[in-house]
Structure 1
Amino acid sequence: DDPLRIRRACEKHGVKLSALSSHSQLSKPEIAVEYLKQAARYAAECGAPVINTHEGHKQPWTTEEEDFVLIRYSIMEAVKVCEPRGIKLGLEMHQTYSLIPAKYDRILNLVDSPVVGANFDTGNAYLGGEDPIAWLDRVKHRLVHMHAKDISVEQSEAERGKVMGTAVGCACGDGVIDWERVIAILRPLPQDIVLSVECGTLDQAARSIDHLRKLV
């Protein structure tokens, strides 16, 4: 759609866009580069301050070092379009490398740019087998956006340590994530961070907002 049309509709109804989901495979530049360039231009016109992405699935015919060269190339090309427009590039933990904190740090530091930062997903971090609170504290100064995703006990027991994240979780406050500690980490930060709720139903979204507002 026309980004200016989206912008006008948002302004008319008092809606602020927090980010664009621009997920593409950074390890496949033939896909990621032009997609992210277009996303950055679209974000600038529609009024979204952040575009989010991840590194993508591991290909069987590349080595890890080759993958990081490809990822760096894609990020660098995206940054060249993001920087002059003031658009942040949020890197999410959602795939092979980024669900390992040390390798996620490496991805964050592949390109030295003030627009590159973390789109932290609490649910993905947890399902990957990590402590999301400790990990959030580790990258808090690189945050540009957050996916507020809770994970039910049932999903945790079935999937933790077995999957590379999930598209949606349960209502915030109904699952295993300690939102009081999440907010305690975010509150002192100098930058404003949007908590973008990712859940499965409108009812879950409403309950998530109610729960988070009590803590903020």
Structure 2
Amino acid sequence: MEFEANLSWCNHADPENNDPKEFRKLVIDEYGFKGITGLGSHRELMNDPLAVKDITYNIKWAAKAGIPIVITGEGSKAEGMSDEDAFSILKENLTELVKVAEENKVILALEPHGYFSLQLGGLPKILSLVNSPYLKVNFDTANPHRGDYVGTDRSGFRWRIKASSVGDEIATLKTVVKQVRHVHAKDVIGKDAVTLGTGNVRFKECVKLLAENGYDGALSFQTEGGDPEVIQQMLVDSRKYLKQIFEELQIKES
């Protein structure tokens, strides 16, 4: 199970107010999940002066909660900011965050969800700014397909479809497939998340490419709200589809 800690949206976890060990106990002992695969912590890394502080806190909290991965993105580029200046800011901020990740043995996973990472070649360029085994990728199968930007700060959040560029999920994945440590399993039709295998995302091809490159981590099914009974059925049907894919591709489920 993956949880989000995104301030005003999807705040399943509130690191500033939740005790990390009690949170883990709640998830494992009371809710019955086997573990926690990741903690989402999206901020505006190029614009928000509090972003590094927030993500630093969340990395340390995740370590105490036994969560191996913190997921984030670069966010938006301010109007008038040059690409050169933006990458300079990103390098400075990621260098600081990766140091914290290394010290706490928590992977910082970048998701294609921002201004550069939604562009083909943008995500590997961001990864190249800091050389560390603790800076990796959370690949979302739908975000590149629909140009799905999200940014969060303490004033609120911004979520825009086709905000940067609508891309190709397979082409994007190929550029970073060896760096993927967590996956958002998501399918969409237009702006709407749907049951895996029923939308427009080349999901099976993504799974095949990941398997061929040795990926054996989580496939975290992700949708975007709605009626609980509908979501529950989406989960059931998506799991059936995943099992079908695994059988067809001869992937061993772990």
Quickly name the TM-score band, shorter chain normalised. 0.7 to 0.9
Among 206, 209, 222, the alignment partner of 1:198 is: 222
Change (3 A) 1:118 1:85: same
Among 105, 119, 131, the alignment partner of 2:168 is: 131
Could you tell me how far apart the structure 2 residues matched to 1:124 and 1:14 are?
26
Residue 164 of structure 1 is matched in structure 2 by none
Task: Structure 1 unaligned segments of length 5 or more: list them.
Answer: 160-167
Could you tell me how far apart the structure 2 residues matched to 1:150 and 1:3 are?
31
Among 32, 39, 45, the alignment partner of 2:64 is: 45
Among 207, 211, 214, the alignment partner of 2:237 is: 207
Q: Determine if contact 2:123/2:176 at 8 Å carries over to the other structure.
A: no
Q: Determine if contact 2:101/2:108 at 8 Å carries over to the other structure.
A: yes
Q: Determine if contact 1:33/1:78 at 8 Å carries over to the other structure.
A: yes
Query: Matched residue pairs, number?
Result: 203
Could you tell me how far apart the structure 2 residues matched to 1:14 and 1:53 are?
23
Q: Determine if contact 1:145/1:195 at 8 Å carries over to the other structure.
A: yes
Greater helix percent: which structure?
Answer: 1
1:52-72 deviation per Cα after TM superposition (whole angstroms, max 9, x unaligned) = 111111211422111111111
Percent of aligned pairs with the same amino acid = 30
Greater strand percent: which structure?
Answer: 2
> Residue 20 of structure 1 aligns to which amino acid in structure 2?
L
Residue 197 of structure 2 is matched in structure 1 by 173
Residue 93 of structure 1 is matched in structure 2 by 112
Q: Determine if contact 1:29/1:74 at 8 Å carries over to the other structure.
A: no
Among 94, 109, 116, the alignment partner of 2:135 is: 116
**Does residue 141 of the first structure (1) align with residue 165 of the second (2)?**
no
TM-superposed CA distance for 1:196, in Å, is 1.2
> Residue 169 of structure 1 aligns to which amino acid in structure 2?
A
Could you tell me how far apart the structure 1 residues matched to 2:103 and 2:215 are?
20
> Residue 206 of structure 1 aligns to which amino acid in structure 2?
V
TM-superposed CA distance for 1:191, in Å, is 4.6
